Amino acid sequence: MVDKVNRSDAEWRAQLTPEQFRVARGRGTERAFSGEYWDHHADGIYRCVCCGTPLFDAGTKFESGTGWPSFYAPMDPGNVRNVDDRSLRMLRTEVVCAACDAHLGHVFDDGPQPTGLRYCMNSASLRFEPRR
């Protein structure tokens, strides 16, 4: 279980770039093939850009062809939370940071084994930390 992080919009705006705020706090989506990490291959950990919670290990990243960083599993299932998203008149599963509720992206059931899942994330919601 992660500790909850609660900040005002003003505090988030002071910490994040306008694009990070739009995506992570405003449930936005960056354009495909435009984010910093869609074609990123370094070894390390992807953390929440808002609160630093560890979300995905680079070892679970794969090339989905979608233009967004994709992972087949979170580092710890307790660090992310799934939420029903009906915003486009269809049911999708939104993925948010369990600690601060930042919008990360969506999860789909068309990923590779061993999970069969594709966590399609926004680069703007992530911060990469190289493995030492």
Q: Which residues are catalytic?
A: 120
Per DSSP, the three-state class of 125 is: helix
- Give strand pairing partners of 130: 44
The beta-strand segments (E) located in 38-122 are 44-48, 54-57, 61-62, 70-71, 80-85, 92-97, 103-108, 118-121
CA 53, 41, 1 angle in degrees (round to 5)?
15
